[in-house]
Amino acid sequence: MAFEFTDTNFQEVAIDQQGLSVVDFWAEWCGPCRLVSPIIEELSKEYDGKAVIGKVNVDVNPEISMKYGIRSIPTILFIKNGEVVDKHVGTTTKQALMGKIDHHLDN
Select which of 22, 33, 52, 53 is catalytic: 33
Select which of 17, 27, 30, 98 is catalytic: 30
33 is catalytic: yes
Instruction: 95-104: list long-range contacts, CB under 8 Å, 24+ apart.
Output: 97/22, 97/39, 97/43, 98/43, 101/20, 101/22, 101/43, 101/47, 101/51, 101/53, 104/20, 104/78, 104/80
**Which residues are known to be catalytic?**
30, 33
